[in-house]
Structure 1
Amino acid sequence: MKTYDKAQIIASFNTELAVRRLEEGFVAYSEARVQVPPVQSFAFTQNNGDCCVKSAYVEGSPTFTVKLSTGFYDNPSKGLPSNDGLMLVLSATTGQPLALLQDEGWLTGMRTALAGRIAARLLAPAQVKAIGIIGTGMQARMQLEQLRAVTDCRQVVVWGRNASRLDAYAAFARHLGFQVRSTQDAAELAGAANLIVCATPSRQPVLRSEWVQPGTHITAVGADAPGKQELEPALVARADRIIVDSVAQCSQYGEVAHALVSGLVSPDQLIELGALLAGRAKGREHDGQITLADLTGVAVQDAQVASCTLTALNACD
């Protein structure tokens, strides 16, 4: 078994290939051509942390992947990153481990950011006047990096609770070429931006329905485990199109789950991203609609991103 570290993985990563593989994976998932066992989740409430184990096999693939991802959200105060993890790629023919990708959570972050990019390409309004970023962590940064490929907008409003982290995010965004406004008032952000990405581990709603303008697209990626929530259920119910990465998974947790439990939306309103990519469902039809992509992270993303990463790494050997 080969072992690769984060630096090797980043150096060989082919972003455009990964986007194509992820799109193929979402379509395969929605067509029931992927084995995705139940997610294993751990909660470490006393340490403000969580861990999930996800695995997937895409029909016909020579490999399958098991991924471990952790999030310990007090780590920055200890000089440590919030997220960590690794991926194990195994042969679907012999079962032998082929590679350990010691990516330190980078691949999980990237596949999530690329899913956000795909959702924005399909659902964002034609004219993005400002991008709103809820959060200041690694995922909030990666999402903004990837949005540059799908919109010419270079105005960003960023929300966070910590002033120093807001300042650091603003410096990062300016380095990417954005004009930046920072705020600790989420209503201010919603009033300025019509493409909003929510990327925090919040367990209480940050964004409320009455703040959001008609025509806004929201990509919510933070509620990736039970108990997490960034949107109030009334905002989910207000959306004209609700796109999910997995109906089954988003019905258990994520933003949609809260709205379902509240009786504000019904399961038949949910459209899988794979169905949208395959042309079997409609997305945004006009710029007055509010659209929502609830992305909880499906293991097929890990299998696809690990597969294309291993292909690139093997080519470099």
Structure 2
Amino acid sequence: MQMTKIYTLEQIKNIVETMDFSTEIEQGFIAYSNGQVIVPPVGELIFEDPPGDTHIKYGYIKGDEYYVIKIASGFYQNVKINLPSSSGLMLVFSQKTGVLETILLDEGFLTNIRTAVAGEIVAKYMAPKEVSTIGVFGTGTMARMQVQILQSVTNCKRLIVWGRSESSLEAYKNDMEADGYEVQTTMESADVTEASNLILMTTPSSMPLIDASQIKKGTHITAIGSDTAEKQELDTKILHMADIVVADSLTQCQERGEVYKALLTSDLKLGKVIELGHAIKSGNRVRTSEDQVTVADLTGVAVQDVQIAKVVSAALSAVSE
């Protein structure tokens, strides 16, 4: 019987350095919206002391070779004890035999990559053509990765970043300036919305960080942090006023994320929301005017994990043979 292949984070990082997952993940979103993907409800554990969450996401594309089960956690006070906030692994099984073929001990790294790629895809179709300044809420791993991956979409190097502490803002500023960005830091939400027309939300906040009155014409917001029913980064009236609202999964966004919160307050009707795969499958830009306010709600869909796990497993297997 074939032995299960096990790969460490170091091996995964080495192979991923040379890879681009945007095409595979974009195709995954389209397949998902076309009904070709089986994705059961998210398994979820929420912890209070210390605060954290663990998600189990799993699924498969019909007729594909594999199915994937992913476990990913976020414990946001880990920084206090010098541990990363994210952890996890991905399990790749044969869709024909159920045999576990590959274990990817990625410690949440591939979840971060596929989340960043989703932000890249959204910006490609929804961001303003001319990005003046990129606004970032949050100073963690995703606040860095989301910005860095946007280099394929915009050449904008000006950032304004909001954070809760001077120390985290200073660390972010130093890291991103070393990568060639011009970085302004602030602890005032309005500074970000006033200065930027592409805004990235990457915090685990349970309270809105932006009010609808702050949003200018032509602004695009990619909301990433709110991936549970408890989290929220945006005033629900922002989704009410938005010209276009896109969600990665209509099913999931009725249970979690910014769309969920806006449905609860009746600031949004589900019929207004476009599923990402449907929005992008024509290959045309979703934004049709530079004055439009657009919002993308990304809660994370298992098809992203399926696509990245398949590609990384294949690449690692080819190198090790």
Q: TM-score band, normalised by the shorter chain?
A: over 0.9
Distance 1:33 1:17 in 2: 23
CA contact (8 A) 1:17 1:308 kept: no
Normalised by the length of structure 1, the TM-score is: 0.98
Q: 2:115 is matched by which residue type in structure 1? A: T
Equivalent residue runs for 1:258-297 within 5 Å: 258-279=261-282, 283-297=286-300
Q: Which amino acid aligns with 1:316?
A: V
Q: CA deviation at 1:171?
A: 1.0
In the TM superposition, residue 172 of structure 1 has moved relative to its aligned partner by 1.4
Deviation at 1:14, TM superposition (A): 6.3
SS where residue 286 of structure 1 aligns? Answer: coil
* Offset, 1:287: 0.5
Partner of 1:101: 104
Which residue of the partner structure matches residue 35 of structure 1? 38
* Counterpart residue identity of residue 107, structure 1: L
Cα deviation per residue 1:54-96 (whole Å; 9 max; x = unaligned)?
Answer: 0010112111100001011110001111111100000001100
Deviation at 1:209, TM superposition (A): 1.0
Q: 1:42 to 1:55 in 2, by over 3 A?
A: same
The answer to whether structure 1 residue 209 and structure 2 residue 216 are counterparts is: no
Q: Deviations over 1:100-129 (max 9, x none)?
A: 100010000110000000000100001100
Q: Which residue of 2 aligns with 1:243?
A: 246
State whether residues 275 and 281 of structure 1, in contact with CA within 8 Å, keep that contact through their aligned partners in structure 2: no
Q: CA deviation at 1:44?
A: 0.6
Sort the Cα spacing of 1:15 and 1:130 in 2 relative to 1 into closer, same or farther, 3 A.
farther
Aligned counterparts of 1:70 and 1:89: Cα–Cα separation in 2? 18
Specify whether residues 160 and 15 from structure 1 end up closer, same or farther in structure 2 by C-alpha distance, changes over 3 A only: farther
Runs of 4+ in 1 over 6 A off after TM superposition: none
Q: 1:112 aligns with which of 111, 115, 119?
A: 115
The answer (yes or no) to whether the contact 1:241–1:292 under 8 Å persists in 2 is yes
Mapped to 2, the partners of 1:220 and 1:16 lie a distance apart of 25
* Residue aligned with 1:148, SS: helix
For 1:254, give the aligned amino acid: G
Residues in 2 aligned to 1:63 and 1:252: alpha-carbon distance in whole angstroms: 27
Q: Does 1:71 align with 2:71?
A: no
Q: Out of 194, 200, 203, which is 2:203 matched to?
A: 200
Q: Which amino acid aligns with 1:155?
A: R
TM-score (norm 2): 0.97
Aligned counterparts of 1:31 and 1:288: Cα–Cα separation in 2: 30
Runs (5+) with no aligned partner, structure 1: none
Structure 1: how far apart are the matches of 2:271 and 2:57?
26
Local SS of the residue matching 1:9:
helix
1:8 to 2:5 alignment: no
CA shift for structure 1 position 17: 4.1
Mapped to 1, the partners of 2:183 and 2:35 lie a distance apart of 42
Q: CA RMSD in A?
A: 1.2
Q: Give 1:82's aligned residue.
A: 85
Partner amino acid for 2:278? A
1:52 aligns with 2:55: yes
Q: Match of 1:127, SS?
A: coil
Alignment match, 2:222: 219
Deviation at 1:257, TM superposition (A): 0.6
Whole-Å Cα distance in 2 between the matches of residues 27 and 15 of structure 1? 24
Task: Report the count of equivalent residues.
Answer: 317
User: What per-residue deviation string (whole Å, max 9, x for no partner) do you get for residues 200-248 of structure 1?
Assistant: 0000001111112110000000011120000010111111000110011
Give the whole-Å Cα distance in 1 for the aligned partners of 2:159 and 2:285: 28
SS in 2 for 1:156: strand
Residues 247, 282 of structure 1: CA spacing in aligned structure 2 closer, same or farther, 3 A cutoff?
A: farther
1:179 matched to which residue of 2? 182
For 1:217, the aligned partner's letter is H
Q: Which amino acid aligns with 1:144?
A: V
From the superposition, tell whether residues 98 and 174 of structure 1 become closer, same or farther in structure 2 (CA, over 3 Å).
Answer: same
Secondary structure at the aligned position of 2:217 is classed as coil
| In 2: Cα distance, 1:33 partner to 1:281 partner | 22
Aligned-pair CA distance for 1:301? 0.4
Query: 1:138-163, CA deviations, whole angstroms, 9 ceiling, x for partnerless residues?
Result: 11111011011110111000100011
| Structure 1 contact 158–183 (Cα < 8 Å) conserved | yes
- 2:136–2:199 contact (8 Å) kept in structure 1: yes
